[in-house]
Amino acid sequence: MKPLSEYSKMKLISFTFCLIITKIQSACVPAFHDLVCENLSDVRNGKSESLVTLTIGNTKKSPIETLSAGTFKKYTNLEELTIISSVNKLEVDAFRNLSKLLVLKLYKNSIAVLPDFAFIVLPQLTKLDLQDNNIQQISTYGPFIYNTIKTVNLSFNKLRDLNWQCFASPGLERLIITNNKIQEIGIEGVLSKDLITLNLDSNEINHLEDDVFQDSQKLEELILSRNRFSTLWTKFKLKSLKKLDFSHNKITTIHESVFDGLPQVEQIYLNDNLLKKLPPQFAKIHLHTVHLHNNRLENLEMIYLNPSFEYELTFSRNPLPCSCLDNWIVFMELRRITTTDCHREFYGNGNNPTCIVIDAEWDSGKCSHSRTEDVDEYVYKFLDMNNNTDADC
């Protein structure tokens, strides 16, 4: 919180500013800490050297203006600038004079090109949000280098490939590029060594080379959900990784070596895939959270091997043998293995996790049955029949 006096002063100035601008038909309106302007001319015509946050535009407009150099020369104290659905072009130097800016958000602006060094004039920038534009390519020595930026969000753009060199700048900790069209991640160059989170949800990636993340030894969270993986064979070597998310792909097979180089991983999300088997390594890692619902697993043996942790497991909508399922549930209770709130609610409403009626033998945590082609066919029919019976978790 700001001291009241400073805040009141700011509000007063914003208000005065609004009055001045109103005379030249401005739509700038003070709103709490913020000043909200309709378009860029309003901003250029006004001035407020003490203003700290400024919002331009709204989602009802179409983005047709060009953001030119000098627009902010009378707003030198801005710390947070949001431009919504106003701009489709950035001039080089568009952001000069904003030497105190910490957060820049450019939502829904149809920006296709990020000029090289566009953000270099912002010596304090820590968060850059470029969601929902038309960015297709980022030049190698372009916008994000030589900077203090910690978070970049490029979600909902049109990127097809990623060149790590663009994100090499030390200091970059969070890179969020969901809902693009990325197919390839080039391993040329160096991804920021300080990266902690990499979120590539909803892209079109189907393979990763072994050393693709080798420079980012601080990486803790890697999200590759909703991509096009069918086989996982990457030998990750990420000694700090805690969370790995490959949910909602079409993964049928996970090679044994995938988990060898992830000594710290505790959360694995593999739900909504086509897995029939988990690699044996699964039993050796100290997991806390494993989501496996909606796969083709007929066994959950790996839970047997990790008794002493607090453990969260989801496994509904797998063709588990019914004779083993009850045992598993009891077993989980004994071991205090929990499930997600959503799954708990689902079972609480009297629903059961799905299971198939085949002969199986239970022996303290291990469930075995002989697999035949008949069983395969049965499993497929079963999965089709039970298509809509799961908790929507």
User: Contact positions toward ligand NAG, by CB under 6 A?
Assistant: 25-27, 38-39, 41-42, 73, 76, 96-97, 129, 131, 151, 153, 155-156, 176, 178, 384, 387
Q: What angle do CA 281, 392, 330 make, to 5 degrees?
A: 55
Q: Which is nearer to ligand NAG, 37 or 285 (CB)?
A: 37
Smallest separation (angstroms) from ligand NAG to the CB of 176: 5
Smallest separation (angstroms) from ligand NAG to the CB of 127: 7
Torsion of CA 266, 271, 274, 277, to 10 degrees: 40
Q: Which is nearer to ligand NAG, 215 or 272 (CB)?
A: 272
Q: Which is nearer to ligand NAG, 373 or 392 (CB)?
A: 392
Q: Which is nearer to ligand NAG, 153 or 225 (CB)?
A: 153
| CA distances in angstroms from 234 to 74, 168, 228, listed in the order given | 52, 22, 14
SS (H, E, C) the chain: CCCHHHHHHHHHHHHHHHHHHHHCCCCCEEECCEEEECCHHHHHHCCCCCCCEEEECCCCCCCCEEECCCCCCCCCCCCEEEEECCEEEECCCCCCCCCCCCEEEEECCCCCCCCCCCCCCCCCCCEEECCCCCCCCCCCCCCCCCCCCCEEECCCCCCCEEEHHHHCCCCCCEEECCCCCCCEEECCCCCCCCCCEEECCCCCCCCCCCCCCCCCCCCCEEECCCCCCCEECCCCCCCCCCEEECCCCCCCEECHHHHCCCCCCCEEECCCCCCCCCCHHHHCCCCCEEECCCCCCCCCHHHHHCCCCCEEEECCCCCEEHHHHHHHHHHHHHCCEECCHHHHHHHHCCCCCCEECCCCEEECCEEECCCCHHHHHHHHHHHHHCCCCCCCC
Q: Which is nearer to ligand NAG, 26 or 247 (CB)?
A: 26
Q: Which is nearer to ligand NAG, 152 or 313 (CB)?
A: 152
Residue least distant from ligand NAG (Cβ): 27
Smallest separation (angstroms) from ligand NAG to the CB of 23: 12
Which pair of structure tokens corresponds to residue 36? Answer: 């909200």
Smallest separation (angstroms) from ligand NAG to the CB of 131: 5
Smallest separation (angstroms) from ligand NAG to the CB of 5: 25
Smallest separation (angstroms) from ligand NAG to the CB of 195: 14
Smallest separation (angstroms) from ligand NAG to the CB of 264: 23
Smallest separation (angstroms) from ligand NAG to the CB of 106: 12
Smallest separation (angstroms) from ligand NAG to the CB of 61: 9
